Amino acid sequence: MKVLIRGAGVAGLTLAHELATRGAEVTVTEKRMEIAGNASWQAGGMLAPWCERESAEEAVLTLGRRAADWWNAALPGHVSRRGTLVLAPARDARELDRFGRRTSGFRQLGAGEIAALEPALQGRFGRGLYFAQEAHLDPRKALLSLSDKLRGMGVRLEFGRGLAPASSEIEVDCAGIADRRPELRGVRGEMLMLRTDEVSLARPVRLLHPRIPVYVVPREQNLFMVGATMIECDADGPITVRSTMELLGAAYALHPAFGEAELVETGVGVRPAFADNLPRVERYGRHVRINGLYRHGFLLAPAMARQAADLILGNPAAKEFALEAHR
């Protein structure tokens, strides 16, 4: 079967991999000239379904708990399975209790256990929650590696164009917020990239705050991704001063050494979301759509890709399951 996929973000590339693995002939077209710059490029890359359950529906946990296995199978060596550490300043200790009541799959940590996990945070926090089953990856490395692998599998990736080859039997829209459907809304996420050799973290750390919870994700070369805001708008202009100050303030609250870090990059991505903040896989004849990944792109894209591939390639139970999961 010949399949055209529009959009080379995380949704499009994971679907291309799933289809190519099952023997389909796949072409991916992307209006951008390169992968860099889309919302997936600005993501945190946290595969954290138990943490996300704090503010998301049960479906996010159900569909996301196998994401780390999918990514590890597709891109061996890209997934770090060191869990997630959730902390709160002493003044916001109630936020930690609230987070714990709304989630599962964690164990409570005291100051000594926090220091054993993250020596750089010794003496800074008296309590924490540790989600040992969670994982993370570097989205940029993952997108580039996945696109290289797809080319090796025979998938055509065509950048700078959005037209479909006339011979495609199925067309799949994975264009995200560019799919201007009235039921989709944009959720703006802003992030910073900091560099410092005075802090070392082995895993993502979520710092809770009543207004803007922030995560700090370690990357290679002493880089740390700090994100992300959730602003209900689809403006994709530069990061605001207010957001920059809030994100920097949170990083400083986690460790004062971030006050001397280099601010090497700021980024903005507009994530597509439906009213229930859950993604959808929909088929209309020879047209399929995957959209609404919201802030769970790398976490839920594998599950959406499996469902879409089942729909496209004829699993008789797939359509009912895909629709039922998101009602």
Instruction: Please list the ranges in the chain whose pLDDT falls under 70.
Output: 162-166, 315-327
The whole-number pLDDT of residue 45 equals 97
The whole-number pLDDT of residue 182 equals 87
Tens digits of residue pLDDT in 125-177: 999 999 999 999 999 999 999 999 999 999 999 999 765 555 789 999 999 99
The whole-number pLDDT of residue 163 equals 58
86 CB-side CA count, 13 A: 29
Q: Which of 146, 164, 100, 147 is nearest to 127 (CA)?
A: 100
The whole-number pLDDT of residue 165 equals 57
Q: At what angle do helices 67-74 and 139-152 cross, to 10 degrees?
A: 50
The whole-number pLDDT of residue 322 equals 43
Q: Which pTM value belongs to this model?
A: 0.94
d(CA 31, CA 19) in angstroms, rounded, equals 21
The whole-number pLDDT of residue 203 equals 98
For residue 281, list its beta bridge partners.
290
Contacts of 78 (CB under 8 A, 6+ apart): 71, 72, 137, 138, 141, 142, 145
Tens digits of residue pLDDT in 165-207: 557 899 999 999 988 788 999 999 999 999 999 999 999 999 9
Q: At what angle do helices 139-152 and 10-21 cross, to 10 degrees?
A: 30
The whole-number pLDDT of residue 306 equals 97
**Domains in the chain, CATH or no CATH each:** 2-64+137-183+275-324 (3.50.50.60), 84-132+185-273 (3.30.9.10)
The whole-number pLDDT of residue 167 equals 79
The whole-number pLDDT of residue 325 equals 43
d(CA 131, CA 115) in angstroms, rounded, equals 16
Q: Measuring CA to CA, how many Å separate 95 from each of 4, 7, 134?
A: 45, 38, 20
CB 137 within 8 A of CB 297: no
End-to-end CA distance of the chain: 29
The whole-number pLDDT of residue 327 equals 38
DSSP secondary structure string for all residues of 180-209: --TT-EEEEEEEEEEE-SS---SS-EEE--
